[in-house]
A and B are shown apart, each in its own frame.
Chain A
């Protein structure tokens, strides 16, 4: 079985191929803690909510946490503040394990490939992977899969740019980081990630911006919604300027076939007029490459997971043929 796993800062998503359909699961990386009182316990039991007990607290996860936080006016806690695994919080790591188990079914055959993206904008090509990446790799391996890391930029290019020979620039505006990948024929040539870009503050104050409607944290709260375009333009300018300088240093503009397609995904891309604003910013920066098309993913939730699934499917096929 092939499966793709998109581990974001605020949401985990998985996609797998069953018969003639794609089955997705997603889970929010948040939790809510209630005091372990008889009243709270009875309330939760009567409502049928599944909760965990942790000392003096009762813990609710994911969407349920958002609902009860809205009802009881409780702060929602982020499991991955800033996209990083809290190393000094063993309970948070246990909850993360539960969530990975929830979105990732057990592998049908040991060694099935699971391509995954990890939050935090880590460089997945370095030899010594950071703790966060190894943590998630271990969780995936415990489910019976063979974890293969890819970057969000690569995943979104795989998902959206099949007509361009899987070549182009993939940009993922995540809740914690903005990751940009330069992909040629499915292979990542260069990448860069930026933490202090669009949604940095909303990530830190996830309890303030997470809405109970099931959407990602909105980068602009109610006060700033009127200035949404302005915020987007400024944030895009800062991010793309930094990305241009970074990629120019890596001289990637010479590697790409031109014109180059660009594909964007993430919560900000669902804002009305995002494509227009992005094109304006891009043109003003004068990147040293010709742009063919600018695409915005139609499914901002599962596009990265779909790219992971495609890569997993290809890796599984490759392994199967090799074994044959």
Chain B
């Protein structure tokens, strides 16, 4: 009785707590905190690609399917000039020099910049390293630019995502880039430049602002050093739609022309018109069609940065930062410095802008420290963004899930995890039962690992390796599987074999007795040299002389004959009786011997041994 009463009390208390929490949430219409991001947009990240690619630029891609191959496919494929070497710049340094394989699946991280190297750059690099010409620390791009109209470079840490632009050759200097970005000239000393034509893939600290930038350079600015209010219009990332059909490639032709498509894969190129904008946005010598001077912000800002004269505007009131707080999706442009004239006339309005994730705290936007002082400069294209940010896309306070739904989701996820664990255990048992006895013993009593750290069990390794071998085309080599499975740390025989710890015992080889070989042994020709005649006599008894005057010439002649017929046998000195043997054949030594005695150095084949022999004989005292 008392027990049921206490149970009832507990239930009532719980109900009261739930009701209190529900009431504490207030009316749903009064919710003013967060509009939820759609799952698709929350997984979008931005990566940049430049170099020998059909449509270089920055791409917003889905994190779930992000790989080098997918990005190359989306960027329209490699050009004909592309080598298969792709360098990945991540976290301000070159982390990987990848050999591109369409079948492989190389992962990427948000903010990565991929540089597709060209064959020309590599050949130039190898020539520099060849030692036949003096190596220059920096190979000027103007000597052999891949694209005579400009130089592709990437900026890192300018915005939240990398920026890929195309500079005019005259502007391909670090100092000029800093000026065009509206940053103080002192910043040039802090910019790191990753030069694709450097022999060693190292990050070079640039001390001089006059460094010429080569095609494919990556400029890494120090974090937090960029004054966003002074930034000009920067390119937008590519839209995500993939369309079929050929589009003019931006690589290989001057601005304003319609260059032919150089994409060499089956991949359909993207609509890369925004990228055309991206490559010409900073071009001071713009083509009249694509980048008319009237629409391009070519005028560099004030070179001397005066924080008092130009205070950095506070952008917290603007939704740009609040829009993409953590997804890696960079702001498309610096909203505080954009103007209507800065939007590219040929760039289509971003189609995914209305669906852009928006995390906006309404109260924060209302009570922000200050409004954007350059609000009048907001581009018309951003009106949709603005409206989406100031007006929540869902009813205010509409939380997408109730507590019950969340509980259901949690229960479902828990059940799935439990089922996965059970299935894994079942597979482990099966794999263990199929293994030999010693292996099962090893699994039951695992040997201590030579390298501390969690390692999977052998059954996991075997199961995963077997599954991977069946599913992955092409199959990984056993070495790669073993490397992946960390089997070498298990202290088993293979580990000891690799570490050469096992003792070696030699067995004597045993041949069977009384073997009868079928056939006849291949006889070896025996050469007899009679210097009295021009030809060696192959038959009949005779006595060979041992004169020294021409012995060397004869020996060399025989050596030449042996070179021509390695299986032959020479007996050239000493008295002997010749008897007719099979395959005895004469050799002609006249011309060869005379040539050898006259100019032995030319007659002897130019091999190291022969050269050394000649030198030894030449140095030997007579």
| 5 further contact pairs, Cβ within 8 A, besides A98-B512, A254-B85 | A24-B507, A54-B521, A91-B521, A204-B562, A317-B482
Asked if A33 contacts B521 (CB within 8 A), the reply is yes
- Say if the beta carbon of A1 comes within 8 Å of chain B: no
Cross-chain pairs A/B with CB under 8 angstroms, 15 sampled:
A17-B493, A22-B497, A22-B502, A25-B509, A52-B511, A89-B521, A98-B515, A201-B610, A204-B562, A205-B562, A230-B612, A288-B126, A288-B129, A314-B478, A317-B494
Chain A residue with Cβ nearest B509: A102
Question: Nearest Cβ in chain B — how far from A55, in angstroms?
Answer: 5
Asked if B497 contacts A17 (CB within 8 A), the reply is yes
- Say if the beta carbon of B506 comes within 8 Å of chain A: yes
Asked if A54 contacts B516 (CB within 8 A), the reply is yes
Asked if A324 contacts B466 (CB within 8 A), the reply is yes
- Say if the beta carbon of B469 comes within 8 Å of chain A: yes
Asked if B481 contacts A309 (CB within 8 A), the reply is no
Asked if B509 contacts A27 (CB within 8 A), the reply is yes
Chain B residue with Cβ nearest A52: B515
Inter-chain contact total with CB atoms closer than 8 Å: 214
* B562 proximity list for chain A (CB < 8 A): 204-205
Asked if B505 contacts A21 (CB within 8 A), the reply is yes
Question: Nearest Cβ in chain B — how far from A164, in angstroms?
Answer: 11
B77-106 residues with Cβ-Cβ distance < 8 A to A are 83, 85, 97, 99
Question: Nearest Cβ in chain B — how far from A265, in angstroms?
Answer: 13
Asked if A94 contacts B507 (CB within 8 A), the reply is no
- Say if the beta carbon of A223 comes within 8 Å of chain B: yes
* B126 proximity list for chain A (CB < 8 A): 248, 253, 288
> CA A91 – CA B516 in complex, angstroms?
10
- Say if the beta carbon of B480 comes within 8 Å of chain A: yes
Chain A residue with Cβ nearest B481: A318
> CA A102 – CA B508 in complex, angstroms?
9
Given contacts A81-B566, A165-B483, A185-B480, contact A91 B466 (CB under 8 A): no
Asked if B520 contacts A54 (CB within 8 A), the reply is yes
* B465 proximity list for chain A (CB < 8 A): 318, 321
Asked if A92 contacts B522 (CB within 8 A), the reply is yes
B498-518 residues with Cβ-Cβ distance < 8 A to A are 498-500, 502-518
B418-471 residues with Cβ-Cβ distance < 8 A to A are 431, 434-436, 462-463, 465-466, 469-470
A1-30 residues with Cβ-Cβ distance < 8 A to B are 15, 17, 20-27
Interface stretch, picked from A118-126, A130-138, A139-147, A231-239, is: A231-239
Interface string of B513-553 (1 = CB under 8 A from A): 11111111110100000000000000000000000000000
Asked if A158 contacts B609 (CB within 8 A), the reply is no
> CA A302 – CA B505 in complex, angstroms?
11
Interface string of B474-496 (1 = CB under 8 A from A): 00011111110000100001100
Count residues of B near A (Cβ-Cβ below 8 Å). Answer: 74
- Say if the beta carbon of A243 comes within 8 Å of chain B: no
- Say if the beta carbon of B592 comes within 8 Å of chain A: no
B608 in complex: contacting residue of A61, A98, A231, CB < 8 Å: A231
A94 in complex: contacting residue of B462, B463, B518, CB < 8 Å: B518
* A201 proximity list for chain B (CB < 8 A): 563, 607, 609-610
> CA A187 – CA B397 in complex, angstroms?
58
A251 in complex: contacting residue of B122, B493, B499, B504, CB < 8 Å: B122
**Best-buried of A220, A290, A310, A318 by chain B (most CB within 10 Å):** A318
Interface string of A98-118 (1 = CB under 8 A from B): 110011000000000000000
* B130 proximity list for chain A (CB < 8 A): 286, 288
> CA A52 – CA B519 in complex, angstroms?
12
> CA A166 – CA B482 in complex, angstroms?
11
Asked if B517 contacts A59 (CB within 8 A), the reply is yes
- Say if the beta carbon of A75 comes within 8 Å of chain B: yes
> CA A21 – CA B505 in complex, angstroms?
7
User: Which residues of B come within 8 Å of A, CB atoms?
Assistant: 83, 85, 97, 99, 117, 122, 125-126, 129-131, 199-201, 431, 434-436, 462-463, 465-466, 469-470, 477-483, 488, 493-494, 497-500, 502-522, 524, 562-563, 566-567, 569, 607-613, 615-616
Asked if A55 contacts B520 (CB within 8 A), the reply is yes
> CA A98 – CA B493 in complex, angstroms?
31
Given contacts A310-B498, A324-B435, contact A227 B511 (CB under 8 A): no
Question: Nearest Cβ in chain A — how far from B569, in angstroms?
Answer: 6
Asked if A57 contacts B521 (CB within 8 A), the reply is yes
* B520 proximity list for chain A (CB < 8 A): 54-56, 91
- Say if the beta carbon of A276 comes within 8 Å of chain B: no
Chain B residue with Cβ nearest A201: B609
Given contacts A103-B509, A310-B494, A317-B478, contact A231 B609 (CB under 8 A): yes
B500 in complex: contacting residue of A54, A235, A306, A321, CB < 8 Å: A306
Give the secondary structure class of B's interface. Answer: mixed
> CA A247 – CA B610 in complex, angstroms?
27
Question: Nearest Cβ in chain B — how far from A260, in angstroms?
Answer: 12
* B482 proximity list for chain A (CB < 8 A): 314, 317
**Best-buried of A165, A204, A219, A299 by chain B (most CB within 10 Å):** A204
> CA A186 – CA B129 in complex, angstroms?
27
Interface string of A195-209 (1 = CB under 8 A from B): 010101111110100
> CA A21 – CA B503 in complex, angstroms?
5
B469 in complex: contacting residue of A21, A196, A322, CB < 8 Å: A322
Chain A residue with Cβ nearest B482: A314
Asked if A231 contacts B612 (CB within 8 A), the reply is yes
Asked if B431 contacts A324 (CB within 8 A), the reply is yes
* A22 proximity list for chain B (CB < 8 A): 497, 502-505
**Best-buried of B97, B129, B462, B507 by chain A (most CB within 10 Å):** B507
- Say if the beta carbon of A88 comes within 8 Å of chain B: yes
* A17 proximity list for chain B (CB < 8 A): 493, 497, 502
Asked if A311 contacts B521 (CB within 8 A), the reply is no
* B608 proximity list for chain A (CB < 8 A): 198, 231, 234-235, 238
Chain B residue with Cβ nearest A257: B97
Asked if A196 contacts B511 (CB within 8 A), the reply is no
> CA A88 – CA B520 in complex, angstroms?
11
* A51 proximity list for chain B (CB < 8 A): 515
* B506 proximity list for chain A (CB < 8 A): 23-26
Asked if A24 contacts B477 (CB within 8 A), the reply is no
* B199 proximity list for chain A (CB < 8 A): 288
Given contacts A158-B479, A224-B609, A306-B497, contact A95 B517 (CB under 8 A): yes
Asked if B479 contacts A186 (CB within 8 A), the reply is yes
* B615 proximity list for chain A (CB < 8 A): 227, 230
- Say if the beta carbon of A313 comes within 8 Å of chain B: yes
- Say if the beta carbon of A272 comes within 8 Å of chain B: no
- Say if the beta carbon of A292 comes within 8 Å of chain B: no
Asked if B517 contacts A53 (CB within 8 A), the reply is yes
* B481 proximity list for chain A (CB < 8 A): 314, 318
- Say if the beta carbon of A226 comes within 8 Å of chain B: yes
The 3 closest A-B CB pairs, nearest first, are: A186-B479, A314-B478, A324-B434
Asked if A186 contacts B504 (CB within 8 A), the reply is no
Given contacts A23-B507, A204-B563, contact A187 B477 (CB under 8 A): yes
Asked if B505 contacts A98 (CB within 8 A), the reply is no
Asked if A226 contacts B616 (CB within 8 A), the reply is yes
- Say if the beta carbon of A273 comes within 8 Å of chain B: no
Asked if A200 contacts B607 (CB within 8 A), the reply is yes
Asked if B515 contacts A53 (CB within 8 A), the reply is yes
> CA A81 – CA B289 in complex, angstroms?
72
> CA A159 – CA B610 in complex, angstroms?
34
* A320 proximity list for chain B (CB < 8 A): 436
> CA A185 – CA B504 in complex, angstroms?
26
Given contacts A102-B510, A309-B497, contact A185 B477 (CB under 8 A): yes
Chain A residue with Cβ nearest B609: A201
* A67 proximity list for chain B (CB < 8 A): none
* A166 proximity list for chain B (CB < 8 A): 479, 483
> CA A20 – CA B281 in complex, angstroms?
69
Question: Nearest Cβ in chain B — how far from A236, in angstroms?
Answer: 9
- Say if the beta carbon of A246 comes within 8 Å of chain B: no
> CA A248 – CA B612 in complex, angstroms?
29
> CA A288 – CA B201 in complex, angstroms?
12
Asked if A313 contacts B504 (CB within 8 A), the reply is no
> CA A174 – CA B604 in complex, angstroms?
24
